[in-house]
Amino acid sequence: MTMIQALRSAMDVMMEKDDNVVVFGQDVGYFGGVFRCTEGLQKKYGKSRVFDTPISEGGIVGVAIGMGAYGLRPCIEIQFADYIYPAYDQIVSEAARLRYRSAGDFTAPITIRTPCGGGIYGGQTHSQSPEAVFAHVCGLRTVMPSNPYDAKGLLISSIENDDPVIFLEPKRLYNGPFDGHHDKPVVPWSQNPLGEVPEGYYTVPLDKAAIFRPGKQLTVLAYGTMVWVSEAAARETGIDAEIIDLRSLWPLDLDTILESVKKTRRCVVVHEATRTCGFGAELVSLVQEHCFYHLEAPIERVTGWDTPYPHAQEWAYFPGPARVGAAFKRAVEA
C-alpha cells in the first residue's frame, strides 16, 4: 500500500470495528479527500459517518470535541497542517484540557489528521511542520509516521486512544519514500518493504520509537521525511549512524533515545521545521540532560531555516542529505 492507502485502510478498519468512529473534514466525504485518503469511505459507511464540512477548522475541531463528549470517536481532517491555526484555540484550550479540567467527567478521544511537511513546492502555506506548537501543549499526543506500515498501525492506535491525538502526515511520503534527492525519480512504496501493509487490524504502539537503521557511530533523532533523508546521508557519508524514527513526538520514547546516545556518544537531531524553539530544542535538551557525561561532541541540529517556507528556494530550505551529511561529519569528527 501507499501511505494514502494505508491511512484509508486504518480508517476503514476502525469504522468497521467501532460504530462510534466518524470521519469528517473539508472535501473528505463524496470526493474522498484532496489526497484521496478517505476515498470510498462515505460510499461504504454512509453520510452520517463520513461527511463533508464547511471550511472552518475551528468548527471541525469544535464539533469533534462535542461529539467526543457525547461518546463518539471522531477522526477528523484538517486539509493542510498550515491551516490548523484557526482551530488552535479549540485544540489547546479545549481538547487538550477537557479531561483535566473536568476531572475526567468529559474527555476528547479525537484524532486530528493533517498533512504536513515540505519538499513539494508547496510554498508558505502548503509545507509547514507545526509539530512544536502541539508538542508544547500538555494533554495532547503528537504523532508522525514515516512509512505506510507505521501510518496504518499508528493511526489505528491514535483513533483507539482516549487522549486527543495530532496525527501529522508527511504528504511528501504519501506516494513513496523521499530522501531529499529531488532530481531523482520517486520510487513508489510498492518497491519498499515498508509498503507491505496487512489488510486487517493491527496496531503500532504510541510512545514507542523505532530504530530505523542500527548504527554505532552516532545517533540521529528524526521523524517523517527526515528519516529517509538521514538514511541517505548515512549511506552517502559512509557514517554508521543509528537512525531513530521517533514516530510519537510527545509523549516520546525517551528510553530508546537515551540507550542509543549512551552507546554512540554522539547525537544529531533532524527536522524540517524551523530551528528556533522547534521540537529539536526539546530533544537536544533531553539528550544533554540525561547523557551529558556520555557525550563526546556537541549535539547537532539540522533543521529548516528560521524563515517562512519559500517556494523558489525549496531545496535551499529543505534539509537535504548534503546538509544532514555535513552535520554527521561534524559530529563524528568533533
Pick from 18, 190, 216, 254: which binds other proteins (CB under 8 A)?
A: 254
- Interface with other proteins includes 101 (CB under 8 A)? yes
Q: Rule CB under 8 A: say whether 141 interacts with other proteins.
A: yes
Buried b (16+ CB within 10 A) or exposed e, 137-173: bebbbbbbbbbbbbbbbbbbbbbbbebbbbbbbbbbb
Active site includes 126? yes
Q: Is 53 in the site for other proteins (CB under 8 A)?
A: yes
Among 4, 7, 15, 22, binds other proteins (CB under 8 A): 22
Q: How far is C-alpha 225 from the chain's CA centre?
A: 9
- What is the distance, to the nearest Å, from the Cα of residue 310 to the centroid of all Cα atoms in its chain? 21
Shortest reach from residue 71's CB to other proteins, in Å: 7
Rounded to the nearest 10 degrees, the angle between the axes of helix 254-264 and helix 279-291 is 60
Site track 267-306 with other proteins (rule: CB under 8 A), x = hit: ----------------------------------------
For residue 71, count CB atoms less than 10 angstroms from its CB and return exposed for 0-12, middle for 13-18, buried for 19 or more. exposed
Q: Which stretch binds other proteins (CB under 8 A): 65-73, 115-123, 168-176, 183-191?
A: 65-73
Specify the residue, 253 or 300, whose C-beta has the smaller distance to other proteins. Answer: 253
Parallel, antiparallel, or unpaired: how do β-strands 241-245 and 210-213 relate? antiparallel
Selected from 4, 41, 64, 151, the binder of other proteins by CB under 8 A is: 64
Distance (Å, rounded) from C-alpha 88 to C-alpha 287?
A: 29
Nearer to other proteins, 5 or 53 (CB): 53
Rounded to whole angstroms, how far apart are CA atoms 209 and 219? Answer: 13
Residue nearer to other proteins on the CB measure, 140 or 151: 140
d(CA 123, CA 52): 26
- The region of 161-169, 208-216, 217-225, 272-280 touching other proteins under the rule CB under 8 A is 161-169
The rounded distance, in Å, linking the Cα atoms of 238 and 225 is: 20
Minimum CB distance to other proteins smaller for 91 or for 267: 91
List beta partners, residue 32. Answer: none
Q: Kindly state the smallest distance separating residue 301's Cβ from other proteins, in Å.
A: 21
- How far apart are CB 102 and other proteins at their closest, in Å? 4
Minimum gap (Å) between residue 208 Cβ and other proteins: 12
CB of 24 to other proteins, least distance (A): 9
Per-residue DSSP letters for 179-229? -S-TTSPPPPGGGSGGG---SS-----TT--EEEE--SSEEEEE-THHHHH
Nearest to 151 by CA among 18, 245, 45: 245
Do the beta carbons of residue 141 and residue 164 sit within 8 Å?
Answer: yes
Q: Kindly tell me which residue out of 3, 15, 65, 246 binds other proteins, with binding defined by CB under 8 A.
A: 65
Residue in 126, 136, 182, 271 annotated catalytic: 126
Cell of 98: 477537557
Cell numbers at residue 159, please?
A: 483513533
H helix or E strand, kind and range, residue 262: helix 254-264
54 binds other proteins (CB under 8 A): yes
Q: Which is nearer to other proteins, 93 or 313 (CB)?
A: 93
90 is a site residue for other proteins (CB under 8 A): yes
Give the residue, chosen from 39, 66, 208, 322, that forms a contact with other proteins under the rule CB under 8 A: 66
Q: Which residues bind other proteins (CB under 8 A)?
A: 22, 48-49, 53-54, 56, 58-59, 62-72, 86, 89-90, 93-94, 97-107, 138-139, 141, 161-163, 207, 251, 254
- Report the catalytic residues: 126
